[in-house]
Amino acid sequence: MTSTKNLGNDGSFLSRRPLLSDANANTIREHKRAIDVHMHFIPDFYREALASANMASPDGIHALPPWDEEDILDPMDSLQIETAMLSISSPGVHFGDDRKALQLARKVNDAGRRLMDRYPGRIGLFASLPLPDVEASLEEAERALDDLGADGVVFESNRHGVYLGDPVLDPLYAKLDKRSAVIFVHPTSPACECSARESKLYPRPMLEFLFDSTRSIADMVLSGVLKRFPNLKVIVPHAGAALPILMERIELLLPLLGKPGESVPPSMREAMRELHFDLAGAPLPQLLPALLSVADIKHIHYGSDYPFTPEDSCSLLAERIASTPILTSADQALIWRDNALELFPRFANPRRNTPLAI
């Protein structure tokens, strides 16, 4: 079939292709259908909150993509996704006002729980936190994990300049570490613009999201977060962004961070074996081989990035993963589902969630 072109919501051109071919859809079916750790939801009230904050076109994209909870299962079924872990994407819930940020975080997390109840076994939730307000985030993390039954929390790569290695976050990491919580990291616009000209030309998801993820995860590792809080399970988006390529350079230059009499900074090479990674975006043909050379295959997960990546593009990207010769059948089983079940065992035998009155 001859492909045509359509404009993605981030302003980039994406190939329009048919949904998964029968052969590669069967590859996914053979592995008990996929668990998607990188899918988003956009409730109407969240869209309205962005518009009220003059952020209806966040991160330089033209507009938020359409999303409707009434047909949320349709793209999941087309893409052979059994369960989707939903999260709010960039720019998160904090637009400058601490009180409003906590209110919006509570509202989106309550909405996520209602989706879990409406579609039992099909929906999981990474709860939003009103960072950089750490005290309010401590409160909301406890409510979301203990009362709502969220499957983890989502951190933007930075929130108003607070990156993931900042010690101000340690009380929150300590609380999450005690629960062996999953932290799903999502990229956002960097805290400072490198070039006013470039920021006008290129939507941040095209380049800056990847750089900000790399910057923030490197900060998290090198500042010792994973050493101090070893029970955290951190999912890095987009196949690790630039980290698989830059890991050896970072490792080579670690001595520059040390001072006489101080311990050696944490190893980036070791951290890459501990971190988890999703395959949202375009990991093939270049990035996935690099990731496989430095990461643990048991820590790599499927991610679609729907609806910010349109359904037909999700299909094309999933087909590339399902058909790549660099993954064995056993690797495929791990990536599509089995690795995620290690993090979220409740989906091994999906049962109706305990209803919650909100």
What's phi and psi for 112, nearest 5 deg?
-60, -40
pLDDT score for 279: 98
Strand partners, 84: 36, 123
The pLDDT tens digits of the residues spanning 259-283 come to 777 777 899 999 999 999 999 999 9
Contacts of 235 (CB under 8 A, 6+ apart): 37, 182, 183, 184, 185, 275, 276, 277, 278, 301
User: Residue for token digits 């209803």?
Assistant: 355
pLDDT at 33 exceeding the cut of 90: no
Quick check: 189 and 156 in contact, CB under 8 A?
Answer: no
The pLDDT tens digits of the residues spanning 123-155 come to 999 999 999 999 999 999 999 999 999 999 999
The Cα–Cα gap between 235 and 186 comes to: 9
**Dihedral of alpha carbons 30, 33, 39, 41, sign:** positive
Q: In what order do the strands lie in the sheet with 152-156?
A: 34-40, 81-87, 123-128, 152-156, 182-186, 233-236, 276-278, 300-301
pLDDT score for 350: 56
Of 164, 155, 147, nearest in space to 93 by CA: 155
Quick check: 125 and 182 in contact, CB under 8 A?
Answer: no
Percentage of the chain modeled with pLDDT above 70: 87
pLDDT at 357 exceeding the cut of 60: no
Mean pLDDT, to the nearest integer, of 199-215? 86
Quick check: 35 and 347 in contact, CB under 8 A?
Answer: yes
Quick check: 64 and 56 in contact, CB under 8 A?
Answer: yes
User: Residue for token digits 């076994």?
Assistant: 121
The pLDDT tens digits of the residues spanning 213-237 come to 999 999 999 999 999 999 999 999 9
Alpha helices in the chain (DSSP H): 22-30, 44-52, 73-78, 98-118, 134-142, 170-178, 196-201, 208-222, 225-228, 243-252, 268-274, 287-292, 311-323, 329-333, 339-343
Mean pLDDT, to the nearest integer, of 298-324? 97
pLDDT at 314 exceeding the cut of 90: yes
The Cα–Cα gap between 225 and 216 comes to: 12
Mean pLDDT, to the nearest integer, of 316-331? 96
- Confidence category of residue 58, pLDDT binned at 50, 70, 90: confident
| Side-chain half-sphere exposure of 317, counting CA atoms within 13 A | 22
Mean residue pLDDT of the chain comes to 89
- Confidence category of residue 2, pLDDT binned at 50, 70, 90: very low
Give the residue, 30 or 72, on which the prediction is more confident: 72
Q: Strand, helix or coil at 345?
A: helix
**Dihedral of alpha carbons 265, 129, 308, 190, sign:** negative
Window from 60-69, 77-86, 331-340 with minimum mean pLDDT: 60-69
Domain ranges in the chain?
A: 4-256+264-347
- Confidence category of residue 352, pLDDT binned at 50, 70, 90: very low
Q: Specify the CATH number of the domain 4-256+264-347.
A: 3.20.20.140
- Confidence category of residue 164, pLDDT binned at 50, 70, 90: very high
